[in-house]
Amino acid sequence: MGSKRWDGRKMYDDSSVGVVVPAYNEEPFIEAVLTTIPEFVDRTFVVDDCSTDGTWEIVSSLADRTAAQRVTDGGTVEPDQAATTLASAIPDQDIVPVRHESNGGRGAAVKTGYELALVDGHDIVAVMDGDGQMDPTQLERIVEPVAAGRVEYAKGNRLASPDHWAGMSRWRLFGNTVLTALTKVASGYWGCATRRTGTLRSRPTRFANSISTRSTTTMAFSTTC
């Protein structure tokens, strides 16, 4: 785990918290997402996956207004190069904007953000998508069991109750249900009721994944399950 290089950490239960925000063509939503990140978050890593709309301009402008600096000359990086290219260039600011030079998909954006958070020395890393579908007020419910050491990974479940997916289209609900079932078969994690179960890593840094806007049920499991 990287060393903690910044002063004035906010901390949550003696743990530093970083948030990864993957974004692709999220111009209508990205500013609201970034301006509602909870106060206990130490640093937000916004990874623009080569958007073709105004996402990068909004992220850059907001980062500038909050005294952040772009990472590397021009603020761009190829997917899979974050750890080696950006490790020494992470600014001592709240928001770190990074832009992929080519579109690598959501997974690549999350990976870049995770790598940056790891080399930056955060104890807990959460993911909140740039589309505004994850409620920032629920983040503490996900971070708390990880910070307390009860679990290594925590995740929200948007399919736990009909009330949670009331506004979801039938096709999207069907797709989520099918992909959830396939993920359970492939991974063996039958207790995970969502298709984005994340990756468990045997590192000192612990991970949390933010809860869906409509979800009020927290799901958590440890690396020993």
Q: What pLDDT is attached to residue 220?
A: 29
Q: What pLDDT is attached to residue 157?
A: 72
Q: What pLDDT is attached to residue 213?
A: 34
Residue 178 maps to a domain: no
Q: What pLDDT is attached to residue 192?
A: 58
Assign residue 115 the CATH number of its domain: 3.90.550.10
Residue 74 maps to a domain: yes
Q: What pLDDT is attached to residue 5?
A: 45
Residue 9 maps to a domain: no
Q: What pLDDT is attached to residue 58?
A: 95
Residue 14 φ then ψ, to 5°: 65, 15
Classify residue 198 as exposed, middle or buried by CB count within 10 Å of its CB (0-12, 13-18, 19+).
middle
Residue 69 maps to a domain: yes
Q: Give the pairing of strands 76-77 and 124-127.
A: unpaired
Q: What pLDDT is attached to residue 181?
A: 83
- Report how many domains make up the chain: 1
pTM: 0.73
Residue 59 maps to a domain: yes
Nearest to 199 by CA among 107, 83, 119: 107
Per the CB < 8 A criterion, the answer to whether 42 and 116 are in contact is no
Residue 142 maps to a domain: no
Residue 34 maps to a domain: yes
Tokens for 31, please give them. 């500013």
> 């629920």: which residue's tokens?
138
| Containing structural domain, residue 55 | 17-132
Residue 164 maps to a domain: no
Tokens for 138, please give them. 């629920």
Classify residue 3 as exposed, middle or buried by CB count within 10 Å of its CB (0-12, 13-18, 19+).
exposed
Distances (CA, A) of 133 to 67, 168, 202: 26, 11, 29
Q: Which residues of the chain have pLDDT under 50?
A: 1-6, 68-74, 83-84, 194-205, 210-225
